[in-house]
Amino acid sequence: MPQKKNPDICELIRGKSGRAIGDLNTLLVMLKGLPLAYNKDMQEDKEAVFDCIDTVKECLDVFIPMFQTMKICKDNMMHACLHGFINATDLADYLTKKGLPFRDAYHIVGQIVGYGIENKKSLNELSLKEYKKFHASFEEDVYQYIDIETCVNNRKVYGGPSPESVSIQIQNIEDFIKQEACYE
């Protein structure tokens, strides 16, 4: 439909990843049966390899222009983050740092999210008085802890969204590309 703004290209490429994984699986199953050396069944590897290469090339042919022409609506993204309760896990982590077992914190945050949905409020819009209805451990610092920027910056794990983690991922990809370019 013309009014839709879904990232169709991303969805289609995500679908194509299944095909690439299937090609990999084909090769792995083929290789697991090899005793020690080349066998006639390895003649079947070309179809999977070339199909995967062609699929990736086709995806890149549409993926790159998509990034070059896409418009990022930061305000819409922030609204979606705030009203999607994406920081609920961080709220549970906040309570665990206050000494609650995670299972209890999880249960309390579930109630808070339900309350937020019912009252059309994000976690950031709830008052401290509202938070304290659910547990006495909440203090003014909760707002800094569940701030979306803080939530992103705290995800300093491999593959995470923190700026440091993203920089490492970018560097790894750039290093890989440089290393592979030497073989062409």
Q: Which residue has the tokens 């590309």?
A: 177
- The angle formed by the CA atoms of residues 47, 53 and 58, to the nearest 5 degrees, is 120
Global model pTM greater than 0.85: no
Confidence of residue 4 (pLDDT cuts 50, 70, 90): low
Q: Per residue in 69-96, pLDDT tens?
A: 888 899 988 888 888 899 999 999 999 9
Nearest to 158 by CA among 172, 170, 169: 169
Task: Give the model's pLDDT for residue 51.
Answer: 95
